[in-house]
Structure 1
Amino acid sequence: MNALEDRLRAALKAKSDAVTLDETEAPAQAISTEVIRLVPDVAARPQRRIATVLAAVAAAAVLALAVGTLVAGGGDGSSAGRVGNRTEVPWNRVGPGWTLVQDTTHTTRDQQGYPHLRSDTPERLLLIDPSGVKYLISTVDPQRWLLTGWSERTDRALFEPQGETNQSSTSVLVVDLRTGTNRTVTAPGVFFSARFSGPDDQSILFEDQQTLAVYSLAGRLQARFSGSGRDLFPATVSSRDGTQIIVGSKAGLAVRDARTGQLVRTLAPPIGFGACDNLVWQPHGELVAACRPVKPAASSLDLARLFMFSRGDTLTPARTDPRLVPGTTNLGLRQGYLAIQQRSYPLVSRADATAVRVGADGRQEPVPIPAAFDGANWIADRGDAGMDTVALVRAKSDAEGYRDALASWNPFTGKVTELYRAATPTGILITNVPWRDFSG
């Protein structure tokens, strides 16, 4: 048993149905809490909490892609662009193409060159429009919270704790983007993932390998039931209408009632496959999950395969789909599916990768990779795809002459737009969450 399992088991023994809620409606600025150092990921960017970093490393051969690019500047998203305030946001236009970013302007570096957050420099929560115009929503205490979710239904952001966690409870921070007010919900037990849940995103779903617990924003325990038993996240998603929770398991997917946790049905994996996780709703409305063979070949590096678990909004047992090309990074956008094939890792030139648009019949149409893809190191992840564009994160900030940056690429128009660039040489992009419509 490893240290993580020890912590999980100890925490699960201490769980109860009690919950503590701090509903103080105060501006989400300079939130007082202990200082905890973020753990940098393999790209020297503390983008995900440690459990998710481990999951990403384990699934990288199938679900992640490193891309080399030098993005052409666009809009006011450059470091010299003016940053507006929260009251200037045109909320009626917030939608596809908008992005939430958590960053900091100053870091220190260790002997290996990895950046570490400074306890005296607040982290910023920025809302960025599709052209790169930035708005400061709030600031968050350094080294404490990590942006992980965005509810398009309620205009709220969700922050999970980062670094060493309390051994008996887990807190999350919910920030209202329109007002800047915040609240924290503390649930008993050590959970390694949290997300908005329910028909109107009025609940928080806490997750670990063994247990799922749902609490309302008012602090009431709504349901507690068995988790996926899987090490990889995300292992759960809500149904399109929010009334059900779909859980990855060792044998396909389990569908549970979001209010009671009662098992409604199971969704079988394909023949020869068992454990499924990494659930993602695509903008078209299809549920995609990664499943692993029951008896993988010893020499196989590509263990996971992507399968469809729905037809429209209707959940179904797993099936193959010609739009999901094996051995590639598959990105579902509103305009269609994109498959990217990498020839080397990391990619430093557009010649090292090919991209194709994949039709419903499996027909592949080449998609030109822009010349801007030559230059520095970038990372694209299917989980970071928006409604129409692919998020490209430049995850390095050092003396080589370039800074952390975020760009969007529309593979069907070829347009590349720089949304964000670190304002200072010591600044870093901590994480980014695109606007996604999950309402169906």
Structure 2
Amino acid sequence: MPSGAPAPSTPAPTTAAASHGTEGTIAQVPWSKVGPGWMLAEWSPVTPHRPGEQPALDEPTPQTVGTTLYLVDPAGNRYTITTFPPGSNLGLADWSGDGSHALFTQAYVTPTSAVSIDLHTGEQTTIPVAGYPRYTRPNGAALLVSTSFNGNEPGTLKRIDLKGNPQFNYPTDDMGGAGHFGGDYAESPDGTQVVLGTANLGNEIVARKDNSLVVMSNDGTVIRKLPVPTATTMCGPIKWWTPGSVLIHCSSQHGSSSQLWELPLYGGTPTPLTALNSGQENDPGLGGDIGDGNAWKLPSGVFLQSMGACGTEFLSRLTADGHTTRVKIPGVSNNVVVTGATDGRLLVQGQVGCSGTTSLVSYDPAANTSTVLLGPPITGGGVSQALLYPSADS
């Protein structure tokens, strides 16, 4: 080999390794070790199928088998917290910041109640809600419950205690002149502020305003209004991106184009994270990406949850010019749902076409290796939902 020539590269793995974790009970959870990198996952014996595919007659269905909530450590050891009965249709909505409770709501409908589960004991508490609940930050001492703008009335944001009693109604009708609350919000990691998006539709129902987002303290005081990056977009917050900025998603007022931006909280100039995406599948440098819903910063790069045709989702890596490159994870289907990032790794779920999800997988982008933590080939069935232990990037 000539001097200075690169060494032969190691072939990329084509399969995912399977963890050799064990299964334990709720009484065996090593709570002193539970923290960043741990996961909550809903698993059932039901095998997801592509739309139109018929399951075998003897296959389990959501109406005949229950769904188990596992607490999973980074190595794949799993602990059974509880099992919901068949047909319960409860989806994992949130994990309290202190790691002690998980929140569930009915899937596919606007929730009228939520179930909070004590992860130490398995005890379940039903909480009346009227909207979409999340635990408050930093520790989950209460719930924030939101509704969206419905065409006639502004969205609402309320704080209630863990029994459902009202604590505070955020003022969402005018928000300091910025307009009606649209329904999207992001809470700061310390719980002292929220950024709210407006229903900035620019039509006969909702007039166009220059300010599409509002920073509000947790006592309802409007701290400042933030301008949208461009004049004809509607923007909503996704999450805190840095201590001084939020990640926002902006879509065109008329059309299918969208873009992610970093928006300073103190009035600075917004910075585009991604290039403008037309949503038409034919943009150069986007490779079938028709829009991005979230992003995660890792030492090996910035990664995105990208949308494809027909309801599919996949993982992309951000390029230096704001475009995206599709990432193929070894041993995982082409379509994946990203759960989050921790310790330089991404937690993903393999997606069956535009249908349900199967295995819970830990992916190391730097090494291009993956490890199945739950689901096929370890337990069969499918992991329908998962959450990482709460962090500032959650």
SS of equivalent to 2:121: coil
Residue 191 of structure 2 is aligned with which of 242, 245, 261? Answer: 242
Alignment equivalent of 1:158, drawn from 95, 99, 103: 103
- Give the conservation status (yes or no) of the 8 Å contact 1:171–1:184: yes
Tell me, what secondary structure is at the counterpart of 1:253? strand
Question: Is the CA contact (8 Å cut-off) linking 2:91 and 2:385 kept in structure 1?
Answer: yes
Q: Is the 8 A contact 1:333 1:389 kept in 2?
A: no
Task: Note the alpha carbon deviations across 1:70-120, whole angstroms, 9 max, x for none.
Answer: 6412322xxxx5311223223233233322111212479899337795344
- What residue in structure 2 maps to residue 281 of structure 1? 240
Distance 2:307 2:93 in 1: 31
1:156 CA drift (Å): 1.4
Distance 1:333 1:127 in 2: 25
Distance 1:109 1:97, change over 3 A: closer
C-alpha displacement at 1:125, in angstroms? Answer: 0.5
- Contact 1:146/1:431 (<8 A) preserved: yes
Name the structure 1 match of 2:382.
428
Q: Call closer, same or farther: CA 1:208–1:371 in 2, change over 3 Å.
A: closer
Residue 44 of structure 1 aligns with which residue? none
* Larger Rg belongs to: 2
Equivalent position of 2:77 in the other structure:
133
Structure 2's unaligned 5+ residue stretches are: 1-12, 149-154, 174-179, 201-210, 278-285, 287-291
- Conservation of the 8 A alpha-carbon contact between 1:132 and 1:420: yes
Query: Does the alignment pair 1:338 with 2:302?
Result: yes
Identify if the C-alpha distance between structure 1 residues 223 and 128 changes in structure 2 by more than 3 Å, giving closer, same or farther: same
- CA-to-aligned-CA distance 1:160-185 (integer Å, 9 cap, x gap): 1224567xxx1111112122222121
**Alignment match, 1:269:** 228
Structure 1 position 202, deviation (Å): 0.9
1:252 aligned residue: 212
> What amino acid is the match of 1:378?
N
Amino acid at match of 1:390: L
Note closer, same or farther for the CA distance 1:293–1:379 as it changes in structure 2 (3 Å cut).
same
TM-score (ref. length: structure 1)? 0.64
Q: For 1:110 and 1:337, how far apart are their aligned partners in 2?
A: 32
Question: Does the 8 Å CA contact 2:81/2:122 hold for their aligned counterparts?
Answer: yes
1:118 to 62, 67, 80: 62
Partner of 2:333: 376
Secondary structure at the counterpart of residue 18 of structure 2? coil
In 2, Cα distance between equivalents of 1:118 and 1:407 = 23
Higher relative contact order (CA 8 A, sep 6+): 1
Code of the residue aligned with 1:280 in structure 2: it is K
Q: Deviations 1:129-184 (Å, cap 9, x if unpaired)? A: 22222111111233331102112324211111224567xxx111111212222212
Over residues 384-423 of structure 1, what are the superposed CA-to-partner deviations in whole Å (9 max), with x where a residue is unaligned?
A: 22233223322239xxxxx921212121232311111147
Structure 2 length as normaliser, TM-score?
Answer: 0.70
Which residue of the partner structure matches residue 121 of structure 2?
179
Q: Is residue 22 of structure 2 the alignment partner of residue 82 of structure 1?
A: yes
1:197 matched to which residue of 2?
136
Does structure 2 retain, via aligned residues, the 8 Å contact 1:340–1:356? Answer: yes
Residues 342 and 154 (structure 1), Cα distance of their counterparts in 2 relative to 1, 3 Å cut: closer
What is the root-mean-square deviation in Å for CA atoms of aligned residues? 4.1
Tell me the amino acid that sits aligned with residue 135 of structure 1. Y
2:364 corresponds to which residue?
410
Is 2:92–2:104's contact at 8 Å kept on the other side of the alignment?
A: yes
Query: Do the aligned partners of 1:215 and 1:223 also contact (CA within 8 Å) in 2?
Result: yes
Name the SS of the counterpart of 2:220 in structure 1. coil
Q: Structure 1 residues 88 and 70, CA, compared in 2 at 3 Å: closer, same or farther?
A: farther
The structure-2 alpha-carbon separation of the partners of 1:386 and 1:436, relative to structure 1 and needing over 3 Å to count, comes to: farther
Percent of matched pairs sharing the same residue: 22
Q: Equivalent residue for 1:17?
A: none
Q: Which residue of 1 aligns with 2:156?
A: 211
Structure 1 residues 92 and 267, CA, compared in 2 at 3 Å: closer, same or farther? farther
Contact 1:174 1:183 in 2 (8 A): yes
Structure holding more helix per residue: 1
Residues 386, 435 of structure 1: 8 Å contact kept: no
Secondary structure at the aligned position of 1:124 is classed as strand
Distance of aligned partners of 1:171 and 1:341 in 2 relative to their CA distance in 1, 3 Å threshold: closer
Conserved 8 A contact 1:131-1:417: no
- Give the drift of 1:126: 0.8
Paired position in structure 1 for 2:249:
290
Structure 1 residue ranges without an equivalent (≥5): 1-68, 398-402
| Aligned pair partner of 1:99 in 39, 48, 70 | 39
In the alignment, the residues of structure 1 paired with residue 189 and residue 378 of structure 2 have an alpha-carbon distance, to the nearest angstrom, of: 41
Name the counterpart of 2:340: 385
Looking at structure 2, the residues matched to 342 and 111 of structure 1 have their Cα atoms a distance apart, in angstroms, of: 20
Partner amino acid, structure 2, of 1:389: R
2:193 partner amino acid: Q
Q: Secondary structure at the match of 1:308?
A: strand
Distance between the aligned counterparts of 2:244 and 2:134, measured in 1? 19
- Partners of 1:392 and 1:319 lie apart in 2 by 29
Distance of aligned partners of 1:406 and 1:88 in 2 relative to their CA distance in 1, 3 Å threshold: same
Partner in structure 2 of residue 62 of structure 1: none
Change (3 A) 1:307 1:239: same
Q: When the two structures are aligned, how many residues end up with a matched partner?
A: 335
